[in-house]
Structure 1
């Protein structure tokens, strides 16, 4: 992977993808655990996940990023840097607030940060699509998956530990410094000066895109349910079992997500040699089985290492499937402009992730963890069945969207 992408470009992509998720992970994972510790109900916590709906509609302003330039020397790089700067400033502003007295304002800053991170993602994915060859896209998407896991480790895990020991201000400043570091790295990157043909994307183009990809859309509906429930329920379950925040931060958000990051880096090196259909079926069914394992600590006394192993397994399987899904999304971007095509598909995916995260929390609060776990594990089985109906041209050695061999 390093040989294919180059060390500097690979490290830059990893760093930028990490900062996409570090702030979101803190607000969606650690902040949720903090509020739960302060007695906020599960039904209300589920509402926080709806702030991520911004990621769903980011394709609406993606054409602006495709069409307009902020700099004569670069296109997508300039957009990435612009939104990265705004992310740093938002975290810095949030550090001045009190987590017990200014909850509503912090949630507002959370929403603002999500807008900037979603926009940064649009520009960064377009940059990857423009500059990374078809053969090396699994490598880039492996870095994206690893970056999301590492971002969750730093934001949801380390951030929770730092908060438990040092408080809100130092936690936010730490996230701010990490995000700023990526901005410094980006400054030295030189974007290729190639012309990207972009036209105004009409609403009809979105409709026509999905008309020929019905099975893909159905899969993107069923697949996120299981893994979204697994992500959303783990922290509240452990809080209710009596785990301290620092303990959750270390074992789940640091050790568990680190396993996912390592899996992503390892899988990305061999992914383009594997059959994507088999990978998706294996990983999707594995996630359903892994979510059912969440029932064990509810009925039996498990140690830290046993619970961490369960969570690590689920997160690792998600990392593998995520590489395959995002790679296939990029393969299908030729019908639309780079930023718009990927943002639209991933927006649909994110919508269902957020929907099921919120639903799993709400149903757990009303019907109990056990019923919610069993219910959402069934979605993974349906998703695995849908994989068998997908047309995956990459598995045949040819992409109908690129019209060239993948050798």
Structure 2
């Protein structure tokens, strides 16, 4: 077991990396949906745009290369992250020179590019987190990831969407690029420890993708990674077009979804981290699934036109609370399943989780054009209920302890 390197500086650095990896990507993959829906794009087309987030899913294809590169650098992540973060800043700034409505092809290309760079940064960040954190700190690391993701969402899909209504496209994009550059400066001044996590070079090969799931417990874990993200991702995917279709303007969507809802998500991530310290991971998982089963149905109030700021905030907040409480425990459990190659094995597991999340999100949007928002909201709640039953039946005998 490696020693902890958790300090104030490394905590701020990890939090910043988790935040800025999602700032630009959140704007291009979420706020763009609202902007293009407002301009008249059909739900079926928006669903396909949502699925461009698959670039995050396929990151496990190049994760072994990152492992090998880091190994050649004696386990040091700093230089690699400096390069990737620099390209991420430039890629975001590049889009400011084009029109969001008339240059859709370039915007989509930029979405893919920013997604690839963000995903690569995430691969290296998870390896750095694995190196910095000892096992008892992984719940805290998951909390940092969750809070960082939500902060990135607040900025990219909330604040930036509101600003777009007032200051325009180019100024908004340049603001996002500037914020992403802050992490670049933090990484520049970071003094990385020379100690490294042992990586077995013979395991860094494509065979790992076949060997990794070759036990009964891993197969049970695999099915969980398939089921768990569907409910909350489906609800999250339909939320923005639903709000546009019931008459909300972009500034209001940005505020209540990106600020009020996300604050609830951050608080829930903190609570989730605390729960992992005091209760078993299985009991926390069951509690999260039960919460999702009930709370996601609150979105029906918005669909049926119930205009109450408190109810609407709770309905939107339920999506963020689901994400906020889920990410710490999922991240901790993924790290628990790492055996030899930190970045590769984390990416391999998280890719499954992300794949189903993106698929559920995009499918939820497209199918809403056929079956209606209300049907898809009920389906999202049903999937959360199925996951809860699965966890209760198959996870209770597995050795998952609290941090």
- Band the TM-score falls in, shorter-chain normalisation: over 0.9
Distance 1:23 1:216 in 2: 31
8 Å CA contact 1:279–1:321 kept in 2: the answer is no
Alignment of 1:196-275 (within 5 A): 196-200=198-202, 201-212=204-215, 213-275=218-280
Q: What stretches of structure 1 of length at least 5 have no aligned partner? A: 398-405
Provide the secondary structure at the position in 1 that maps to 2:400. Answer: helix
Corresponding residue for 2:27?
Answer: 26
Distance 1:168 1:73 in 2: 42
8 Å CA contact 2:213–2:222 kept in 1: the answer is yes
Distance 1:221 1:267 in 2: 21
Q: In the alignment, does 2:285 pair up with 1:284?
A: no
Moved over 4 A (4+): 69-74
Distance 1:370 1:306 in 2: 17
Distance 1:354 1:287 in 2: 18
8 Å CA contact 1:56–1:348 kept in 2: the answer is yes
Alignment of 1:361-372 (within 5 A): 361-372=365-376
Corresponding residue for 1:354?
Answer: 358
- 1:304 Cα offset (Å): 2.5
- 1:302 Cα offset (Å): 2.2
8 Å CA contact 1:276–1:392 kept in 2: the answer is no
1:177-221 Cα distance to aligned partner (Å, 9 max, x none): 110001101111122212432314333322221121111111111
What's the C-alpha RMSD, in Å, of the aligned pairs? 1.8
More displaced 10-residue stretch of structure 1: 19-28 or 284-293: 284-293
Provide the secondary structure at the position in 1 that maps to 2:191. Answer: coil
8 Å CA contact 1:329–1:342 kept in 2: the answer is yes
8 Å CA contact 1:143–1:268 kept in 2: the answer is no
Structure 1's 175 and 318: CA in aligned 2 closer, same or farther, altered over 3 A?
same
Distance 2:73 2:358 in 1: 37
Distance 2:77 2:184 in 1: 14
Provide the secondary structure at the position in 2 that maps to 1:91. Answer: helix
Alignment of 1:321-336 (within 5 A): 321-334=326-339, 336=340
Q: In the alignment, does 2:294 pair up with 1:294?
A: no
Distance 1:258 1:41 in 2: 30
- 1:382 Cα offset (Å): 1.1
Corresponding residue for 1:141?
Answer: 142
Distance 2:98 2:31 in 1: 16
Provide the secondary structure at the position in 2 that maps to 1:353. Answer: helix
1:152-196 Cα distance to aligned partner (Å, 9 max, x none): 000000010110101100110110011000110111112221243
- Equivalenced residues, count: 394
**TM-score, with structure 1 as normaliser:** 0.92
Corresponding residue for 2:400?
Answer: 394
Q: What stretches of structure 2 of length at least 5 have no aligned partner? A: none
